[in-house]
Amino acid sequence: MSIAEARAYNTLSEALEKHTGQTVPANRHWRIDMALKPLMRRNSVPDLQTLAALIEIDADPKLTRACVEAMVNNETSFFRDQPNFALLTGPVLDNIRDLRMDKKRLRIWSAACSTGQEAYSLAIAIAENAEKWRGWTVQILGTDVSASALAQAREGRYSQFEIQRGLPVMQMLRHFEQQGEEWVAKDSIRKMVTFTEHNMLTPVRHFGRFDVILCRNMLMYLSDEKRTHVLESIAPSLEDGGLLMLGAAETVIGQTQKFRASKEFRGFYETSQQQENAQVAKLSLTG
């Protein structure tokens, strides 16, 4: 690789990190090349060095944004990490349901939701247990930094390739309609989900508090410092008794003192404050 090419990769990966916090290690710079080729063709940009030069001076903010969005890792699928997702939609939601029986309101935040498969998987899981959630207000919020990913999420429109990744065929038939080569989420699940743009590196907006926050497979692309920042900024958004779910390869250990691993549910985290409150309550009962 020439010095000019290496410099171009660095400029582009720095732009990605500046806008989203995501980093691309040098051994994965090929991803940048692959992700940007269609954009370069569309904008008649001859090579990566020219694109990097345009991004460096922010010649066209629309181009910079499109470039960053193209580089963001949007990898996702329905019911991703099936065993963990089954724990969430089974025992974890049952536990939350018991806790919230008075208000009958369930709020879930799918953070860094990409094209929305995680949010719709939650909606499907709840719709498949309609009897259990009858009379409840269920709100699922999906947020992401990428406007183009969110546009697809809002439409609930998936290619044949996307729809069959992780989604059982029976659920596909029940909750999606075929439109040509694409599959579109039916209104019954779309009405349970809303999507809005949010960068996890910026302060959490007034989304309210949530019973479950899913922030999966996003922290792994951030530096240690930014992981801590994200975890600490979402901690106040968790309801008492609520749980944070991270990706299978992610943890809060060594990142923050604000969360501790749930003793009951492996792969889930509660705020340290909650654990302390629970201990005080236990002591006062036994004391």
The single-letter code of the amino acid at 184 is V
Binding mask 115-154 for another protein (x = CB under 8 A): ----------------------------------------
Residues 178-237 that bind another protein (CB under 8 A): 178, 181
Give every strand in the sheet of 157-159, ordered side by side: 157-159, 182-185, 176-179
Q: What minimum distance in Å lies between the beta carbon of 30 and another protein?
A: 18
Residues 42-81 that bind another protein (CB under 8 A): 77, 79
Q: What minimum distance in Å lies between the beta carbon of 86 and another protein?
A: 11
Through-space distance between the first and last CA atoms of the chain, rounded to whole angstroms: 69
- What does each C-alpha distance from 91 to 81, 85, 178 come to in angstroms? 16, 10, 32
Quick one: which segment of 3-11, 144-152, 159-167, 230-238 binds another protein (CB under 8 A)? 159-167
169 binds another protein (CB under 8 A): yes
82 binds another protein (CB under 8 A): yes
Residues 254-283 that bind another protein (CB under 8 A): none
Instruction: Specify whether the CB–CB gap between 269 and 260 falls below 8 A.
Output: yes
Neighbours of 93 (CB within 10 A): 22
170 binds another protein (CB under 8 A): yes
Give every strand in the sheet of 105-111, ordered side by side: 193-197, 137-144, 105-111, 210-215, 238-246, 268-271, 259-261
141 bridge partner residues: 109, 194
165 binds another protein (CB under 8 A): yes
How far apart CA 77 and CA 167 sit, in angstroms, is: 8
Nearer to another protein, 173 or 281 (CB): 173
Closest Cα partner for 252 from 237, 267, 236? 267
Q: What minimum distance in Å lies between the beta carbon of 56 and another protein?
A: 35
Q: What minimum distance in Å lies between the beta carbon of 183 and another protein?
A: 9
Quick one: which segment of 26-34, 127-135, 143-151, 157-165 binds another protein (CB under 8 A)? 157-165
Select from 21, 142, 166, 247 the one that contacts another protein (CB under 8 A): 166
34 binds another protein (CB under 8 A): no
Residues whose CB falls within 8 Å of the CB of residue 54, separated by 6 or more in sequence, listed in order:
45, 60, 63, 64
CA 215 vs. chain centroid, Å, equals: 5
Q: What minimum distance in Å lies between the beta carbon of 184 and another protein?
A: 12
The 8-class DSSP code of residue 91 comes to I
User: Which tokens sit at 278?
Assistant: 């629970």
Q: What minimum distance in Å lies between the beta carbon of 79 and another protein?
A: 8
Residue ranges in contact with another protein by CB under 8 A: 77, 79, 82, 160-161, 164-166, 168-170, 172-173, 178, 181
